[in-house]
Amino acid sequence: MFQGLAAQRLVALFFAGWALFNFPLLALWDHDVRVFGLPLFPLALFVVWALLIAALAWVVERDTDASATD
């Protein structure tokens, strides 16, 4: 199913997500700051989460398109 570069990208995205949602980096966003009236911490969580989902979709769809043309 996923071989080569696509599998490596999925593993890299897993570790990036694990690192971004772990304590040291997550603590960077824990401040009493508001962006457009929204607290920074939940906003940062949802933005990072959405970016990870978009990156995963891009990797999976790109691999599906590449295997369909072969």
Q: Is 56 helix (H, G, I), strand (E, B) or coil?
A: helix
Range 60-70 average pLDDT: 71
CA distance 32 to 6: 39
**Average pLDDT over the chain, rounded to an integer:** 88
Task: Tell me what pLDDT residue 67 has.
Answer: 64
Predicted confidence (pLDDT) per residue in 12-61, tens digit: 999 999 999 999 888 888 889 999 999 999 999 999 999 999 999 999 99
CA distance 60 to 58: 6
Hey, where are the domains in the chain? Answer: 5-69
pTM: 0.77
**pLDDT beyond 80 at 70:** no
